[in-house]
Amino acid sequence: KLMGKEIALHSLEALLDCDIRELVIVCAEEYRGLFKEYLEKRGNVAPTIKFANGGSERQDSVFNGLAQLTTEFAAIHDCARPLVTKEEINNVIADARRYGAALLGVQTKATIKQATEEELDGDRATVVKTTPDRSTMWEAHTPQVVRCDLLRKGFEKAQLENAVVTDDVSLIEVLGQPVKLTQGEYTNIKVTTPEDIAVAESILKSRGL
């Protein structure tokens, strides 16, 4: 939990604050009650709420959620990013409307090393293969917003090629279509460890929450 509330509910709240028509919650059936109870207590929920089951891989979950949408665009958000702001969401949606696909991201602060495995002094070792130019490196965040017809075409191509992707706009990249990078905030962290929770609580407190 984060500040006494489930992490996923913080993410849900951020999306409910935005002008969206449909919201599909992708989760296992045993967790649907958590969301339904929260939404009932909250009241005044503008978008139509739908549910879809998760899949074995991220892209399977996104595919299931996409099947529930009737909108022109899909904004796919990772519930482990509970600190995304309304401004960030609105900005990335605006860019997707203009370019067809967009994702939130931030330029990488750290130097990135690409690694490989090789024999080193008689042992298998992880060694540096190359150092990419940091000025060209961005860290991908969510939401990632894509025109639904493009996303469906991306899924078709990925299935034909048995491709597995770890983020949603990769499905658009395989089509050779451009994806706009929308400047996000470094505070839009992924919360997966106790240390992350401590940082997230500090950020929420700084926002007066």
Please report where in the chains the tokens 């709240």 appear, as a residue.
13
**What's the pLDDT score for residue 164?**
84
pTM for the structure as a whole: 0.92
The closest alpha carbon to 104, from 117, 118, 90, belongs to 90
Q: Over 90: is that where the pLDDT of 116 sits?
A: yes
Residue 163 has pLDDT above 90, yes or no: no
Query: What per-residue confidence (pLDDT) applies to 133?
Result: 95
Helices and strands, number each (H, E), in the chain: 7, 8
Do 182 and 102 form a contact (C-beta atoms < 8 A)? yes
Condensed to tens digits (0 to 9), the pLDDT of residues 18-37 reads 999 999 999 999 999 999 99
Per-residue confidence at 47, pLDDT binned at 50, 70, 90? very high
pLDDT of residue 110: 94
Per DSSP, 161 falls in state T
